[in-house]
Structure 1
Amino acid sequence: MEYITLNNGLKMPIVGTGTNTYGKENNDYNGALTNKIPELVSALELGYRSIDAAISYRNEELVGRVLSESNVPREELFITTKVPPSEEYISTKEATRAAIDNSLKNFQTDYLDLLLIHHPIEDKEQLKNTWEVFEEYYEAGKLKAIGVSNFGKTQLNEMKEFAKVKPAVNQIQINLKEFNQDLLDVLQEEGITPVAWGPMKAEDHQKEVLDEIGKAYNKTGAQVLLRYQIERGVVVIPKSHNRENQASNIDLFDFQLTAEDIAKINNL
């Protein structure tokens, strides 16, 4: 595994697994919980250590149980979860504290590696209050890093008015359908690590180019795409329910793309 160093010095695995459909009937985001997550078990067996979760996924407790029952030491895990911008969780500072405390309980741990605001909070006062609680738990050591998700340049600038702790990451959509290059440039200028959700999305004609590049390395087009992202400092959190695909998605560290390869992908 390769790691990226966040702006507070914390090391984060550059590849992780999403969990938004894990442990749900028919692998459906809105499906009923099944009380089992074989996908997460296999991911841990294959070497995944960064686990991307969220309160809104409804499966924190289930994910937490699998992690605690695994033979992976807590210090090897990198657990991320997210607080939704709904009144239940951000109406007051006490509501936000309760949300964080419940996540800690669900993951059976006394600290989380990374906590994110899942989506922009439109009310500036609520955003300020929520971030202040994040900072409070960060200073207490219960959160090793804090950040945001799906924030644009405007919201990031708003945070500069009150944030004592700069967001460590911004988790946004980055893929060949949504390059999001302007925002990516802003994040890298600001020293905020970009984390890509949905990193595998690509059009058919783009996949053909990726597959062609992959032949030189005996790699799939999907592996080429993930390697492209991590080589430019983007953390990726691909997700699969298939063990073979999970293994492929983490098998990225024995090849390096050429400048020509990167130019071809940039032109897509």
Structure 2
Amino acid sequence: MKFVTLNNDLKIPIVGSGTNTFGKLDNQYQNELRGDTEEVDWAIENGYRHFDAATLYNNEEVVGEGIKKSGIPREDFFITTKLNTRVAYEGTDQVHKAIENSLEKLQTDYFDLYLIHFPLDDKDHILEVWAVLEEYYERGVFKSIGVSNFDEEQLQLILDNGRVKPSANQIKSNMGDWNEPQIEFHNLHNIATIAWGPLGGIDDEKKTVLEEIGEKYGKTYAQVVLRYQIERDVIVIPKSHNKERQAQSLDIFDFELTADDRARIDEL
């Protein structure tokens, strides 16, 4: 496994597992929980130690139970979760309650990374919530803090007014939109980029080219894309309900793309 060192020296595995439909009926995001942890179990068996959760996904308990019953020490895992900011903001008590609820559901007394899931509409509210995250960071309950789906202006607001620099911003970055200007801003300020939906935006034409590249290395088109991402030091969180494909997403550290490979991908 390759690791990215965050701006507070914490190391995060560059490949993690998304979880937003894990444990749900028919693998559908809006559905109820099935009552098992099958996908988490498979992921752990495959070697995943980085899990990306969120309050908004309504299944933090699935991830927490899967990790607990694995018997592997908590410190061997990197657990991320996120504050649900899709609900109306009602003040800092609401934030504290949400954090404590996530700690309980994920059966842990700390998070390796805690994110604001979406920027709030009010700049003062963004800073107010960020200040709460800073408190938990300074107490050691959060080992690192960051944001998700923030643009440059919203990040700059925190950089200008916060006490703690965000460690990461989780954004869309895939073949539909690599989001390079945003990533360049992150790099300028030593903020790690985490790509959600890292395998999105692939049509049949792009898939054909990716398969041609992968054939040289005995890799799938998805493995080629993930390799392209991590060679840019972008952290990826692919998600699969298939045990074999989960394993494939981790099996990307035994080959390197050539300059020609990367140029062909860039042209897509």
TM-score between the two structures when normalised by the length of structure 1: 0.97
1:126 aligns with 2:125: yes
Report which stretch shifted further, 155-164 or 105-114.
Answer: 155-164
Q: CA deviation at 1:87?
A: 4.7
SS at match of 1:160: helix
The Cα offsets for residues 133-164 of structure 1, whole Å up to 9 and x where unpaired, read as 00000000000000000111111112223211
Distance 1:62 1:191 in 2: 32
- Report if the CA contact (8 A) 1:176-1:203 is conserved: no
The residue that corresponds to 2:40 in the other structure is: 40
- Report if the CA contact (8 A) 2:86-2:118 is conserved: no
- Report if the CA contact (8 A) 2:22-2:62 is conserved: no
1:9 aligns with 2:13: no
Q: CA deviation at 1:206?
A: 1.1
1:209 aligns with 2:191: no
**Correspondence list, 1:154-169, <5 A:** 154-169=153-168
Task: Give, as a single letter, the amino acid of the residue that structure 2 aligns with 1:223.
Answer: Q
The residue that corresponds to 2:191 in the other structure is: 192
Distance 2:244 2:236 in 1: 18
Distance 2:35 2:5 in 1: 35
Q: CA deviation at 1:91?
A: 2.0
Structure 2 gap ranges (5+): none
The Cα offsets for residues 163-182 of structure 1, whole Å up to 9 and x where unpaired, read as 11111010001000111111
Distance 1:230 1:38 in 2: 27
- Report if the CA contact (8 A) 1:93-1:133 is conserved: yes
Identical amino acids, percent of aligned pairs: 50
1:153 aligns with 2:152: yes
SS at match of 1:161: helix
The residue that corresponds to 2:226 in the other structure is: 226
Distance 1:161 1:97 in 2: 24
Q: CA deviation at 1:86?
A: 4.0
SS at match of 1:61: helix
- Report if the CA contact (8 A) 1:15-1:235 is conserved: yes
- Change in Cα spacing, 1:126 to 1:260, as seen in structure 2 (3 Å) is same
- Report if the CA contact (8 A) 1:85-1:118 is conserved: yes
- Report if the CA contact (8 A) 1:226-1:252 is conserved: yes
The Cα offsets for residues 201-234 of structure 1, whole Å up to 9 and x where unpaired, read as 1121111111111111111111010000001110
SS at match of 2:82: strand
Distance 1:18 1:182 in 2: 24
TM-score between the two structures when normalised by the length of structure 2: 0.97
The Cα offsets for residues 111-142 of structure 1, whole Å up to 9 and x where unpaired, read as 10000000111111111110000000000000
Distance 2:265 2:91 in 1: 45
The residue that corresponds to 2:79 in the other structure is: 79
Distance 1:16 1:87 in 2: 27
Q: CA deviation at 1:37?
A: 2.0
CA RMSD between the two structures: 1.0
The residue that corresponds to 2:109 in the other structure is: 110
SS at match of 1:194: strand
Structure 1 gap ranges (5+): none
SS at match of 2:161: coil
Task: Give, as a single letter, the amino acid of the residue that structure 1 aligns with 2:136.
Answer: Y
